[in-house]
Structure 1
Amino acid sequence: MIEPKHSDPHDPAAGDFAGEEQQPTSVISRRLHAFFSAQGWPRHKHSSQLAVILGLSRSGAFRKFQDGSFSSADLLALAQYFQVDVSTPLSNQPSQAPRESADAVTAQMQMGGRSLACMATLGTELGPHEHCELVATRDGSEWRVQAYAEAPATAPRHRVLHLSITPLQRPLPRIAILEDSADLAANLKEAFTRSGYHASTFASAADLSYEAAVAPFDAYVVDWWLGGQTAADALRAIRRAQPTAPLILTTGAIASGNAAEEEIARMALTLRIQVIEKPFRLALLISQVKQLLGESS
């Protein structure tokens, strides 16, 4: 068992964090509060301890407990910190132990808008007036695990007695950003990094071509107008080397008169390029990259 941490004289036991004593609606938050309490930490210390473990501000950690916005990376970091299986912090230690004959089934756990592969040991079907925090329902041939309140009311709901999650391990997709505006390039890199990508920025087509020849990127975001010339040659080179790589062209050149709409349309059709006009919203650009890479949101 982890030893309780020493008191932090600056930990906000009241004031802005007085609401931490209230019961959160998220199942994941309630389970993590129970797990933290089992480590010997009083309830009003949970946010500050979570902030230390995940490298967040205390207000950011408090918000995670409030809205249950824990990602699979957060849960993995907690498991590594406490040196336990990743499913342990989420276990409710049910009073009804799994039956000897009960077999774990493969399932998908719905969490924070994402679907995580898991193994679930299932109990009996819930009766009309029975409740279990996590339940499993059938979706065709697949089991889906989710909070009781989020499960389809019309489908039979089975008790989840035990849950084991194995987070997907994969390298971050590499995104190349060719943009001669330093400020915009920095904003793009920050946004893609926050969204789970390894982003690299380039101010010239020559630099990008050199890096891509050594280690091709998974997707490319290329500005059309670069220091007085177009990125046409760079786009053709990328497409020759990687016929199927997602390639997005950003441009404000049409509005500024530095490019003809017909020229860019012809390039987009010939090279199978997605075109986004500036100014654009970062979230929409990233969403388009996700779709082109075949990722779920």
Structure 2
Amino acid sequence: MSNVAHPTDSTTVAERVRELMNRHGIGKRQQTTELCRILDLSFSQGHRKLRGNSPWTLTQIKRVAEAFGEPVGQLFAGQLLDPGVLGASAQEALLCVSVAELPCTAWIGAPAEAGSRPEFVAYEKQGQWRVVRPDGSLYQNAHEVHKIEIYPRRAEADKPVIAVVDDDRASADNLRDYLEHSGYAAQALYGLAAFDEALESQVFDGVVIDWLFGGQTAADSIRRVRSSENPDAPIFVLTGELLTGKASESEISQVVRHYDVACYEKPARMAILVADLSKRLNRS
């Protein structure tokens, strides 16, 4: 579990990161890519974080500041501290409750004075801050703890988001379920209109799309992905109509060449498709 800034601060932190990148000459269209590089995120993760829709960990804030040579305190201290913890510093720590050890952010103050009775104290052990309730034991160099923040892990937000586009609901749902069991967050979209609408407000880390939708092909939607905020998202075209002649081999080959897409025949070998996707997303 990560140590995160307060959720209400996520929007402000994101705004400050965008301002920081602007100062350093990172254009708007390059900012998500740069954030993903610094923090090792998927594009959709970076996109949500840079818009304040995903919580920021203390480590992530520090890494961004350090990447641009900016003092983290000057950039974010106002967001990470409140009047009740002035003089304390935010540190990643483990909150030790019985046998459980919960990662947290702890605001650690001055050394605890002899005879004081703070509710929590923190001490360092092998380079790791540990937060405990005083139980009469002697903790060497114990410090007062002013504030502790613990947040549950948002597992879905950490997964690359894959669009599965097919007007056959059963096929879309089956592939979506397989992707989710393989560690992805997958979204089934039943037709080109639904997919095109989703592209207006979302970014995807990858797209798996059927080729034929009635009398239409997926070509225009593929072009939209390549001109979207994440133009490098891997795209996989599925078709079961090459042998029947309904799907044009020349049209598909043209899209493959011009837009760097992979083509799989239906029914797709899901394990092979997911292995290819993972490789293209550097998750193998």
TM-score normalised according to structure 1 size: 0.43
Q: Which has the higher contact order (CA 8 A, sep 6+)?
A: 2
TM-score normalised according to structure 2 size: 0.45
